[in-house]
């Protein structure tokens, strides 16, 4: 099955979003978890954006 680059980028982003959601759920279940700071989220998004740009 061949995917176009556009399709592949959607798949890549979708997978990353699913992984992040899973990680947040896991973090949320930890008893001593402190809320993720907004800055941390922005930093991770920035890193992810850079990673997806590098990916292509």
C-alpha count within 13 angstroms, C-beta hemisphere, residue 22: 6
φ and ψ of 34, to 5 deg: -90, 145
- Is pTM beyond 0.75? Reply is no
Average pLDDT across the chain, whole number? 68
Segment 20-41 mean pLDDT: 67
Q: Based on the structure, what is the number of domains in the chain? A: 1
Quote the CA–CA distance of 6 and 4 in Å, as a whole number: 5
Higher pLDDT among residues 32 and 24, named by residue: 24
Q: Is the pLDDT of residue 40 over 60?
A: yes
Q: Is the pLDDT of residue 55 over 70?
A: no
Give the per-residue pLDDT at 45.
72
Structural domain boundaries enclosing 36: 5-55
Give the per-residue pLDDT at 43.
73
């Amino acid at each position: 099955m061949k995917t176009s680059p556009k399709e592949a980028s959607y798949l890549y982003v979708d997978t990353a979003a699913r992984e992040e959601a899973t990680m947040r759920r896991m973090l949320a279940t930890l008893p001593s978890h402190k809320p993720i700071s907004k800055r941390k989220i922005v930093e991770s998004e920035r890193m992810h954006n850079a990673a997806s740009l590098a990916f292509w």
